[in-house]
A and B are shown apart, each in its own frame.
Chain A
């Protein structure tokens, strides 16, 4: 391992992570603006021109807010839970190929790495809920982890179709395999299952009952406050970015696009269109009841994903 390689890896990591931190702040602002406009109001306007400085103001406020740790909480686990969440969320970035040849770690088990870390993220949810020792957070943590677990199977199975088409789990190979035509066309069922599973994985709107304000007072993060709560919040947005990145790489041909724009711009354009889809769904769809949500996950999506695998197998044989 020559020094230059190590240096190059460090540069890449610092670059990607810092861009990602900026992204987290500004996508939250972007979300509030989009949902505001969708509901006929303006969204944050006061701080700076059109509220551009709002995210910076929020993060500074979070630094200064008091961090309350409930007396009956299980101290060590209470500290670790948000950090596991952030580590799981941010380190999935390592595998996403931003443009041809540029991804922090070009593992040949790219998809498995992302699935493994999204399983790790459900750890932080359970531990957070259990450690803060209050009814709301315990029940919220339990419910959202059960939901994340049951949709993770559907997500895993839907990606099997993509792997069959591309013949490799390495994300760059998958993008290169899509030169002939994006996988969205042959793998449409898999795309539908994957997108809905991603909504459930990141606890986003139609499936965010355990964290809903009206039901469980923001679920497992009830007892957290200040910076610790922000870390959970960052993990959720990291998950959202990575999953939409994965969707773009697996179904929409990653950085490939007509030549007049460089690869990375295409990639970011597609990712932000997906994130816009997240906000659009949040502003429009009502919330699922918990038993509908779980029943749907098990009864509909797993058979659908399996059917897609069998179908892809048949098509590829002919």
Chain B
């Protein structure tokens, strides 16, 4: 018979809920311990015989040529910027979605306006060719 410990505190503003976030902290520490522990354990038993040829970056055998951190295409920057913009849009959608039943018609129309304006930006970016990767 396992003890069912239902632990759910009301989250009205004003009451503090350290307990949930405490367990999050505990699991993060645990995960970090696993990572560090695995590496630390390895350090003890692992052979260490580094010599120059072994420490060269791996180029499937032949010696590395050219400067590894060369200037990459601006496409990655554009993708990052679009991600920032669309993710902030998603952030605005989350609270609306959660409180959707309470908002009724007005909430729906308001958010459709928000999504509509965003779609125009989306079409603009699409037509300007930011999405096709040559």
Contact = CB atoms under 8 A, between A and B. Distances in A.
Chains A and B touch (C-beta atoms under 8 A apart): yes
B117 interface: no
Main SS of chain A's interface residues? helix
Place the interface of chain B in its size category: 35 or more
Given A83-B35, A105-B23, A160-B90, A168 B98 contact: yes
A160 B132 CA distance: 27
Nearest to B134: A291
A216 to B, nearest CB: 11
Nearest to A306: B115
Given A135-B68, A152-B87, A294 B93 contact: no
Given A63-B45, A169-B98, A150 B79 contact: yes
Contacts of B21: 105, 107
B27 A153 contact: no
Given A63-B41, A302-B86, A87 B31 contact: yes
Contacts, number: 221
A130 interface: yes
A136 B58 contact: yes
Nearest to B102: A167
A231 B35 contact: yes
Given A13-B27, A230-B38, A160 B46 contact: no
Interface of A: 1, 5-6, 8-10, 12-14, 16-17, 21, 62-72, 79, 82-83, 86-87, 89-91, 93-94, 100-102, 104-108, 111-113, 130, 132-139, 142, 146, 149-150, 152-153, 156-157, 160-161, 163-164, 167-169, 172, 217, 222-223, 226-228, 230-231, 290-291, 294-295, 298-299, 302-303, 306, 309-310, 313, 316-317
